[in-house]
Amino acid sequence: MTCRFCGAALTLTACDLGRQPLANALVPMDAPAQPDARYPLRVMVCTSCRLLQLAETVDPAALFCDYSYISAISSVWRAHVEAFAVMIAQRFALGPKDLVIEIGSNDGTLLRSFLRRGVRCLGIDPAANIAAAARDSGIPTLTEFFGADVAARLAAQGQHADLLVANNVLAHAPALADFVQGLATLLAPAGVLSIEVPHVLTMLRDRQFDTIYHEHVFYFSARTLQSVLQSVGLAIFDVQTLPTHGGSLRVLAQHADTGCHPSTTGLTDILAAEENAGLGDPARYTSLADDAARVTTELRSFLSRARAEGACVAAYGAAAKGTMLLNCADIGADQIACIADASPLKQGRRIPGCRLPIVAPDHLGRLRPDFLLILPWNIADEIMAATAFIGEWGGRFVIPSPTLRIVSP
DSSP per-residue codes, 175-193: SHHHHHHHHHHHEEEEEEE
Predicted pLDDT of residue 62: 76
Q: What is the secondary structure of 261-279 as a DSSP string? A: PPP-SHHHHHHHHHHHTTT
Residue 215 and residue 41 in contact, taking contact as beta carbons nearer than 8 Å: no
State residue 75's pLDDT score. Answer: 83
Distance CA 396, CA 409 (A): 6
Q: What architecture is the 63-277 domain classified under in CATH?
A: 3-Layer(aba) Sandwich (3.40)
Element (H, E) at 136: helix 128-136
> What sign for the dihedral angle of Cα 78, 84, 89, 95?
negative
**What topology does CATH give the domain 301-407?**
Rossmann fold (3.40.50)
H or E element in which residue 155 lies? helix 148-156
CA proximity to 352, closest of 381, 375, 320:
320
The answer to whether 380 and 399 have CB atoms below 8 angstroms apart is yes
Q: pLDDT band for position 232 (50/70/90)?
A: very high
CB contact burial 379-394 (16+ within 10 A = b; e otherwise): bbebbbeebeebeeee
Question: What residue type is assigned to position 251 of the chain?
Answer: V
Asked if pLDDT for residue 259 goes beyond 90, the answer is: no
Examine the pLDDT at 271 and tell me if it is beyond 70. Answer: yes
Q: What pLDDT does residue 164 have?
A: 98
| Integer Cα distance of 370 and 337 in angstroms | 11
Reduced to 3 states (helix: H, G, I; strand: E, B; else coil), residue 373 is strand
Residue 219 in contact with residue 198, Cβ under 8 Å? Answer: yes
Rounded CA-CA distance 262/400 in Å is 42
Residues 61, 47: Cα–Cα separation, whole Å: 30
Residue 72 pLDDT > 70, yes or no? no
- CB neighbours (10 Å) of residue 142? 17
Sorted by where each begins, the domain ranges of the chain are: 63-277, 301-407
pLDDT digits (tens, 9 = 90+) for 104-145: 999 999 999 999 999 999 999 999 888 998 999 999 999 999
